[in-house]
Chains A and B, each alone.
Chain A
Amino acid sequence: MSNRKYQEKAIESLLCLSGVTAVVILFLICIFLFRDGLALFQNYSFIDFLIGTKWYPTSQPNQFGLLPLLFGSIIVTFGAIIFSVPLGIAVAIYIAELAGEKEADVLKPLVEILAGIPSVVYGFFGLVVLVPLLQNILDLPTGQTALAGSIMLGIMALPTIISMSEDAISSVPRSIKDGSLALGSTEWQTINKVILPAALSGISAAVMLGIGRAIGETMTVMMVTGNTAIIPGFPDGLFVPVRTMTATIALEMGEVPQGSEHFYALFAIGSVLFITTFITNIVAEYIKKKYKFNMGAGQ
């Protein structure tokens, strides 16, 4: 009898243990990333890293300035958001409000498929199709630019934005919509004045996660942005090659000796990246929570 109780307890402990592994992994990621990242600052000034404008990891003396890479990531992400947020929300509205069941049945799996394509395939596609196209149309010396990265990242962020926004829009109570339509508003006025504001926080959470995705994306960006580490201007920076934090790590890690300053510098970049996405996740989560609460109170 008590034998069985012990057995049940043992199983529960085992399950708890596997549940906690997620926490342990997150914790280990912090430790390993920050440990090697902080190792850079034994010999290199933290301020120089943070506000340095030059990334010359192999020159003498080497310079590990974060800014060109940070701005590279920002400009590519920014471009992606400008392009994908309006489009994503429009598609979400269409699927949730305007499309018939049949169209939604085609569009939704299509979005899921879009989400499943590996980033390296997006990168390849960008490289063989988009890059030459941009070069010809805009008459640039090279098509490998921040813009190419933005467009590809925009496409890749679309599924996240569409499916989460669609959830947010669909969860606006039917009664609110009907109430507005009953007052004689047109369908479009209802969407614009009633549904979108009600779904706003859900949509913002979607956008935050989309940003997180875009900042963290590596292979695609690496293949289409040209990877030149200079601080881009705006908006002309869109039309020149840039280098993001992610691409820098992936490109240079293969060549650096383990334990060198350059090696640690890449971990420092990784730490910055991790902290950035950590914050976007928390913010998205917070917005989502708040929004759920509002919806609950509103009903």
Chain B
Amino acid sequence: MLQIFLNGYSAISIEFLTEMPRKRMTEGGIYPAILGTIYLIVGSMGVAVPLGVLSAIYLNEYAQPGKTKWLIEMAINNLAGTPSVVFGLFGLAMFVKYMGFGASLLASALTLALMVLPIIIRTSQEALITVPEEYRYASLALGVTKWQTIRQVVLPAAIPGMITGAILGVGRVAGETAPILLTGAAYFLPRLPDSIYSQFMALPYHLYVIATAGTNISQTRPIQYGTALVLLAIVLSVNMIAVSIRRHYRKKLRN
């Protein structure tokens, strides 16, 4: 890890972060890959967070123990354990081929959204469980409907936990390679993506490409280290934020 940090640090400059790759990616920056990763995060979180939070609300606040609930939780557990490359295959068959999105940002973002959905649901559920039952009773006893109670009292109290979940999801999306490799990430693109149907570059795949398939692998080591460091920095800082929010929140709950 230290090695990545030291070697990566010396490779990083403003130009590295804001320029296009040059000469078959042996020189220049990684701007398009950073941008692609950001698009992916926004796209997949935009789908997964609302869906995941709503699912968690259903499971915690509405679903009665029984077949439906059992089935949903079983499905979530299995989705959480399904390898990312299988999600990639699914995205390829469903979004790229069947729905005709082609290899694109849209297909990749949707695939990643499905992949992080279990994480979002679980952390949201955890957050909802920590909201004391008394709040719900107090609100219902005031003649407030169940949904209003959830919106006005339960959700605000659960938000910090849910944000943690979403941030963990961001870390996961930023680092995943296999699903986007099968659904739209490009080896190299001379231009930035201009629509949701374009192919795109992304940091993790870019690192894989320049580390294993470049024209002159050992000569481009500095670029590889730089890319690895940027990716690592994004993912780790995102995770660290999530973990510290969670800690802060748990401590507050205890007092």
Contacts and interface: CB of A to CB of B under 8 A. Distances in A.
Given A109-B243, A127-B211, A250-B178, A118 B204 contact: yes
Contact of B77 (A112, A270, A281): A281
Interface stretch (B22-30, B38-46, B83-91, B189-197): B83-91
A21 B240 CA distance: 30
A253 B239 contact: no
A253 B55 contact: no
Interface string A14-32: 1110111111011011001
A250 B88 contact: yes
A216 B58 contact: no
B58 A119 contact: no
B175 A216 contact: no
A123 interface: yes
B93 to A, nearest CB: 4
A19 B79 contact: no
A37 B1 CA distance: 39
Contact of A124 (B61, B68, B176, B211): B211
Contact of A116 (B62, B76, B92, B235): B235
A116 B57 CA distance: 26
Contacts of B77: 281, 285
Contact of B57 (A15, A213, A219): A15
Interface residues of A, number: 65
Interface in A230-262: 246, 249-250, 253-254, 258
Interface of A: 4, 7-8, 11-12, 14-16, 18-23, 25-26, 28-29, 32-33, 35-36, 109, 112-113, 116-121, 123-125, 127-129, 209, 212-213, 215-219, 222-223, 246, 249-250, 253-254, 258, 266-267, 270, 273-274, 277-278, 280-282, 284-285
Interface of B: 1, 3-4, 51, 54-55, 57-59, 61-63, 68, 71-72, 74-90, 92-94, 97-98, 114, 117-118, 121, 145-147, 168, 171, 174-178, 181-182, 204-205, 207-208, 211-212, 221, 224, 228, 231-232, 235-236, 238-240, 243
The 5 closest A-B pairs by CB, nearest first: A118-B175, A216-B83, A19-B58, A18-B54, A116-B239
